[in-house]
Chain A
Amino acid sequence: MVDLLAAPFVACLILTGIHCYLGIHVVMREVIFVDLALAQIAALGAAAGTLLGFDPHSHGAYVFALAFTIAGAAVFSVGRFRDRRVPQEAVIGIVYAVSSAFAILLLSKIAIGREEIEHMLVGRLLFIGWPEVAGTAVIYAVVAVVHVLLRRKFFAISESPEAAWRGGLDVRFWDFVFYATFGVVVTSSVQMAGVLLVFSFLVVPAVCAMMFCSRVAQRLIVGWAFGVLASTVGLLASAAWDLPTGASVVATFGVVFAACAGVYGLRELLRARSPAT
């Protein structure tokens, strides 16, 4: 059993590592669903590759998925209007819906489209092997290096795009770099863990950390701790009760979030009362 869950556990750790960090950006930018939209564009790319004769899980299809994702990143960076007349969330929603529809249309031309869409949603965390974990770790490491080098620009834009514009930063260009690297991560992680689990890794640790900390370094450390906790408990629950692994980790993330929200709410309540007493 340990032998079987070792690779999924390490996969969860590296997923936590990069997604918690990206999640902090995404929550600050209020573009929560951008990962769903990028995952959907990646799926559309894979579908286009499949239609052109590549095996759905081959390198050829992966190249298509990446190319589409980078095109999507371009759309998101152009779709940010400085005067916020159209919120970016709207553009993301439109991209999500339209690329889903196109994926369905393309996959209707091949017989196993429906199964492919389902596989993408659920992922295959339990069936992850070491070579996959290693390959993903390399891709994440490259993205992480890019983000460490460009951290000032990315955080300046995430904290206040308006200030960044005024400071003379080319927000559109750096947004493109941000979404392109983000898309590379999502394309790889969705193949491994599925859309639901990737969304949880991205948002839950980041949101939990943001309830309690305000500095980036603190948020990262606390978020990672929550991510590791939820992954460990989720995998153990899956092992103990023989449950599908990905779904039990997502459910555990839900419990962790509820607990954090409870503690946070209680603290706020006490804080509101304390001046009166």
Chain B
Amino acid sequence: MICLYACNPRPYPRRRPVAAAVALLACSIPAAAPVLAQMNVVATTPNLADIVKQIGGDLVSVQSVMRGPEDIHNVSPRPSHMMKLKKAQLFVHSGLDTELWAPLLVKGARNPKLLYGRPGNVDVSRGIILKEVPTRGGLTRALGDIHAYGNVHYTLDPLNGVTIARSITDAFKDADPANADAYEARCRAYSTRLRDLSAELIGNMKPYAGTPVVTYHRSWPYFLDRFGLECVGEVEPKPGIAPGPQHLQECIERMNSQGARVVIVETYNNKSNAEFVAARANGKAVVLAMEVNAIPGVDTYEELFRFNLARLLEAFQALGLETSARQGTTPTSGG
């Protein structure tokens, strides 16, 4: 591919098929042919696919296996995904034990470039500081859908997005060194945008800092920590396990005693169940997007945070949960 660019230094050779063909002939390296087209990338989730798009721009074409609203742990890949993966140069995934269906997909695609450990296999969990890492010895399947390495929903912190963008950029630069500068520049601009977005949204949430909330599944620690909210319980007693009446009672009591009035629910969990719990604490259930495309209107990774924060602020305002107002009634809850 270096040879190709020596012959044809234009930034987008695919738009000039004739020149590109001449360049190819001149170089006479047919193996370089795929570089003429965009780099094919398959990402496991829409969040990762959007970050890939932001870094790769016109130079890559990306497809996500997961559609958005479903549970990241339970995606059913279709035959078309395997075909896409067969032709892909890079496979971008969350690593750890997030997408338990991904290894099977990679195996089925029989694309040696994408096998685990090869450069075409991009695990974006590298460099992420994980939360809720289990202590040694205390880990069993009886604890529910628990994760051996820690909580895997790390894309829900926009600053982790910066780390993910870096991993993806490094992989792009290795796979397509000719465009390394373009990737690097985009990565820097995007990281700045994510940092600014994060600061802006933290500012928006300031009046509600420390507001206690309950979540349906244990999906939100990265998100809540970043925006200064506090999780006081989950509707599920253990991740992925349906609650019994005692647990539900405790959860409702804790909401009432700690002044938590919002239940955050994922798009794939039962909203009516969340509303049932919220109603008993005189509050509201709020459906938030965990992925791009999970809810109509959430089209990019940046949009996801804007959308989620707007939904939460709306609910907090409607319930009159401003920290100053709340401190009058419950002085114990920290601001």
The CA of A126 and the CA of B271, in the complex, are separated in Å by: 14
A101 at the interface (CB under 8 A from B): no
Candidates B67, B71, B243, B272; contact of A115 at CB < 8 Å: B71
A249 at the interface (CB under 8 A from B): no
Interface pair B247/A114, CB less than 8 Å apart: no
The CA of A119 and the CA of B268, in the complex, are separated in Å by: 10
The CA of A129 and the CA of B277, in the complex, are separated in Å by: 10
A181 at the interface (CB under 8 A from B): no
The CA of A182 and the CA of B67, in the complex, are separated in Å by: 37
Interface pair A4/B249, CB less than 8 Å apart: yes
Write the chain B residue with the least CB distance to A118: B74
Nearest Cβ on chain B to A82's Cβ, whole angstroms? 44
Interface pair B76/A127, CB less than 8 Å apart: no
B37 at the interface (CB under 8 A from A): no
The stretch from A87-95, A202-210, A236-244 touching chain B is A236-244
Nearest Cβ on chain A to B199's Cβ, whole angstroms? 32
**What secondary structure prevails in chain B residues at the interface with A?**
loop
Nearest Cβ on chain B to A52's Cβ, whole angstroms? 16
Candidates A108, A129, A241, A244; contact of B276 at CB < 8 Å: A129
User: What residues of chain B lie closer than 8 Å to A129, measured between beta carbons?
Assistant: 276, 279
Interface residues of A in 96-111 (CB under 8 A from B): 108, 110-111
A124 at the interface (CB under 8 A from B): yes
User: What residues of chain B lie closer than 8 Å to A197, measured between beta carbons?
Assistant: none
B99 at the interface (CB under 8 A from A): no
User: What residues of chain A lie closer than 8 Å to B74, measured between beta carbons?
Assistant: 114-115
Interface pair B245/A127, CB less than 8 Å apart: no
B68 at the interface (CB under 8 A from A): yes
Q: Mark A5-25, 1 if CB is under 8 A from B, else 0.
A: 100000000000000000000
Interface pair A245/B70, CB less than 8 Å apart: no
Interface pair B246/A115, CB less than 8 Å apart: no
Q: Mark B229-263, 1 if CB is under 8 A from A, else 0.
A: 00000000100011111111100100000000000
Write the chain B residue with the least CB distance to A128: B276
The CA of A93 and the CA of B250, in the complex, are separated in Å by: 43
Interface pair B268/A241, CB less than 8 Å apart: no
Candidates A108, A119, A124, A238; contact of B245 at CB < 8 Å: A238
Write the chain B residue with the least CB distance to A241: B244
The CA of A238 and the CA of B237, in the complex, are separated in Å by: 14
Interface pair A111/B245, CB less than 8 Å apart: no
**In the complex with contacts A238-B245, A245-B245, A127-B272 CB distance below 8 A:** yes
Interface pair B245/A1, CB less than 8 Å apart: yes
Write the chain B residue with the least CB distance to A109: B67
A57 at the interface (CB under 8 A from B): yes
Candidates A5, A111, A119; contact of B70 at CB < 8 Å: A111
Interface pair B244/A238, CB less than 8 Å apart: yes
A272 at the interface (CB under 8 A from B): no
**In the complex with contacts A112-B267, A112-B268, A124-B270, A5-B68 CB distance below 8 A:** no
Nearest Cβ on chain A to B287's Cβ, whole angstroms? 11
B69 at the interface (CB under 8 A from A): yes
Interface pair B242/A1, CB less than 8 Å apart: no
User: What residues of chain B lie closer than 8 Å to A114, measured between beta carbons?
Assistant: 70-71, 74, 76
User: What residues of chain A lie closer than 8 Å to B277, measured between beta carbons?
Assistant: 127
For this complex, 27 residue pairs linking A to B, each with C-beta atoms less than 8 Å apart, are: A1-B245, A4-B248, A4-B252, A57-B271, A108-B76, A110-B69, A111-B67, A111-B68, A111-B69, A111-B70, A112-B268, A114-B70, A115-B71, A122-B242, A124-B270, A124-B272, A124-B273, A126-B244, A126-B245, A127-B272, A127-B277, A129-B279, A238-B245, A241-B244, A242-B245, A244-B241, A245-B245
Q: Chain A interface (Cβ within 8 Å of chain B)? A: 1, 4-5, 57, 108, 110-112, 114-115, 119, 122, 124, 126-127, 129, 238-239, 241-245
